């Protein structure tokens, strides 16, 4: 029999994309059970072309479930993923609750699929969307050249902050569109009113902040990029510095990366490596105006890479620009891919 899948957080921004992804990928699932907060229970959502009623999160909801995906806030995962695991399900968690737990693998199938098999807590973590938007490409380059250092600047979309992020940006755009705002200090700040989940206006602006404040001025998001990259690549001493910035884009995170390697690099070889890496598309012909932008990448699955240059003063370093849909590969798609790895394992063991 095909395994039973539970989608916890089915009504959220990532959950909504997840249902579309589950409907379009090869169908490895038997029952797909949709679970959400009691507030959303009873709603009917379409998956695989059929209406399915959402049930409320409870211990009983995990009866008979083989794989349970969690697209919910950290504290909800922290409580409920272990409950799902105790009921016999493999929990695939998209929150930050377990990513750095040494007994929980942090998996990107193109980079470290093998890690998914060793899961002593019955939980597998899905990385943060910012890490995920670069790590498939960086993993491919690491395999060829041996990565030693990453210097990253992110350009993160509003939907990284969930549906409230999307709603806030759309409302702000409606207030500033067609005006002459953006010419005087504070005029945008006064006009937009609510900042929603962001610490400053996002429309007509860029905001050098994502997540919460950690030691010595770093944001939680910047530390996630560092810690998660190290864990996924199996490079505990990798030098990583990130500056995470929110930009007025609805969906698709972009990153500018300066990557340093053990071996000398060439752009030609980097293009070959990236061009043949599963899940990566090279779009790099600036003479023709060809480079990835969020407006073109949104809604697609791969990591898009362009602007590949060898550092002018360092033959061991590459500079590049990447875009990835933060709700797809950055969240739902990678979670679905991990769940499919587990489904294949369960099916072959049966
Ligand atoms: C953002 N990357 O863009 C964050 C959202 O650790 O899963 C995802 C937070 C996380 O705001």
Choose among 18, 49, 239, 231: nearest CA to 125.
Answer: 231
Q: Which of these is catalytic: 142, 244, 253, 323?
A: 253
pLDDT attached to residue 119:
98
Residue 187 and residue 175 in contact, taking contact as beta carbons nearer than 8 Å: no
pLDDT attached to residue 121:
98
Phi, psi dihedral angles at 149 (to 5 degrees): -160, 145
Please choose from 95, 154, 156, 160 the residue to mutate so as to test ligand 1's pocket, defined by most ligand atoms within 8 A of CB.
160
| Distance from the alpha carbon of residue 47 to the mean position of ligand 1, in angstroms | 25
| Distance from the alpha carbon of residue 107 to the mean position of ligand 1, in angstroms | 16
Q: Give the number of other CB atoms < 10 A from CB of residue 41.
A: 17
| Distance from the alpha carbon of residue 43 to the mean position of ligand 1, in angstroms | 26
Q: Which of these is catalytic: 129, 142, 244, 323?
A: 129
Residue written as token pair 């899940």: 279
Q: Which atom of ligand 1 is nearest to the CA of 127?
A: 7
Indicate if 129 belongs to the active site.
Answer: yes
Q: Give the number of other CB atoms < 10 A from CB of residue 270.
A: 25
Q: Which atom of ligand 1 is nearest to the CA of 330?
A: 2
Task: Find the helix or strand (DSSP H, E) in which 7 lies.
Answer: strand 5-8
Please choose from 74, 125, 221 the residue to mutate so as to test ligand 1's pocket, defined by most ligand atoms within 8 A of CB.
221
Give per-residue pLDDT as tens, 55-98: 999 999 999 999 999 999 999 999 999 999 999 999 999 999 99
Indicate if 244 belongs to the active site.
Answer: no
Residue 150 and residue 257 in contact, taking contact as beta carbons nearer than 8 Å: yes
Tokens of 149: 């250092």
Q: Nearest C-alpha to atom 4 of ligand 1 is from which residue?
A: 160
Q: E strands within 211-302?
A: 239-246, 253-261, 280-282
Residue list, ligand 1 pocket, CB within 6 Å: 96, 128-130, 156, 160-161, 210, 221, 224
Q: Give the number of other CB atoms < 10 A from CB of residue 258.
A: 17
| Distance from the alpha carbon of residue 253 to the mean position of ligand 1, in angstroms | 10
Q: What is the DSSP string of 130-156?
A: HHHHHHHHHHHHHHHH-EEEEEEEEEE
Which residue ranges in the chain fall short of pLDDT 70?
none
Integer CA distances (angstroms), 184 to 174, 177, 180, 199, in order? 19, 16, 10, 19
SS3 78: helix
Chain CA centroid to CA 173, Å:
25
Q: Which atom of ligand 1 is nearest to the CA of 165?
A: 11
Give per-residue pLDDT as tens, 272-326: 999 999 999 999 999 999 999 999 999 999 999 999 999 999 999 999 999 999 9
Integer CA distances (angstroms), 228 to 52, 134, 259, in order? 35, 12, 16
Residue 323 and residue 293 in contact, taking contact as beta carbons nearer than 8 Å: yes
Question: If you compute the radius of gyration of the chain from its CA atoms, what whole number of angstroms results?
Answer: 20
Q: Nearest C-alpha to atom 3 of ligand 1 is from which residue?
A: 160
Q: Which atom of ligand 1 is nearest to the CA of 156?
A: 3
Q: Which atom of ligand 1 is nearest to the CA of 96?
A: 6
Q: Nearest C-alpha to atom 1 of ligand 1 is from which residue?
A: 160
pLDDT attached to residue 350:
81
């Amino acid at each position: 029999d095909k395994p039973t899948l539970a989608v916890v957080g089915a009504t959220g921004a990532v959950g909504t994309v997840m249902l579309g992804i589950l409907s379009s990928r090869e169908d490895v699932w038997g029952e797909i059970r949709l679970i959400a907060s009691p507030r959303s229970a009873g709603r009917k959502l379409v998956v695989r072309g059929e209406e399915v009623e959402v049930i409320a999160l409870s211990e009983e909801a995990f009866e008979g479930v083989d794989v349970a995906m969690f697209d919910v806030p950290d504290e909800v995962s922290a409580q409920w993923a272990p409950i799902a695991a105790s009921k016999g399900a493999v929990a695939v968690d998209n929150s930050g609750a377990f990513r750095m737990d040494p007994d929980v693998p942090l998996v990107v199938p193109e980079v470290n699929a093998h890690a998914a098999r060793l899961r002593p807590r019955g939980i597998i973590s899905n990385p943060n969307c910012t890490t995920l938007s670069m790590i498939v490409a960086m993993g491919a380059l690491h395999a060829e050249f041996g990565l030693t250092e990453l210097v990253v600047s992110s350009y993160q979309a509003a939907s990284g902050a969930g549906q409230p992020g999307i709603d806030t940006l759309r409302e702000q755009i409606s207030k500033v569109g067609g005006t002459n705002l953006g010419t005087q200090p504070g005029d945008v700040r006064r006009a937009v009113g609510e900042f929603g989940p962001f610490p400053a206006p996002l429309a007509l602006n860029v905001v050098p902040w994502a997540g919460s404040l950690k030691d010595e001025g770093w944001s939680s998001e910047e530390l996630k990029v560092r810690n998660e990259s190290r864990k996924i690549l199996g490079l505990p001493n990798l030098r990583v510095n990130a500056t995470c910035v929110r930009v007025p884009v609805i969906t698709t995170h972009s990153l500018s990366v300066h990557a340093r390697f053990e071996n000398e690099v060439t752009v030609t070889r980097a293009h070959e490596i990236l061009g043949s890496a599963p899940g990566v598309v090279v779009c790099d012909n600036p003479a023709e105006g060809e480079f990835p932008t969020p407006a073109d990448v949104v809604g697609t699955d791969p990591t898009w890479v362009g602007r590949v240059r060898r550092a002018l003063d360092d033959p061991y370093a590459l500079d590049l620009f990447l875009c990835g849909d933060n709700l797809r590969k950055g969240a739902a798609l990678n979670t679905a891919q991990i769940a499919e790895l587990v489904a294949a394992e369960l099916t072959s063991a049966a």
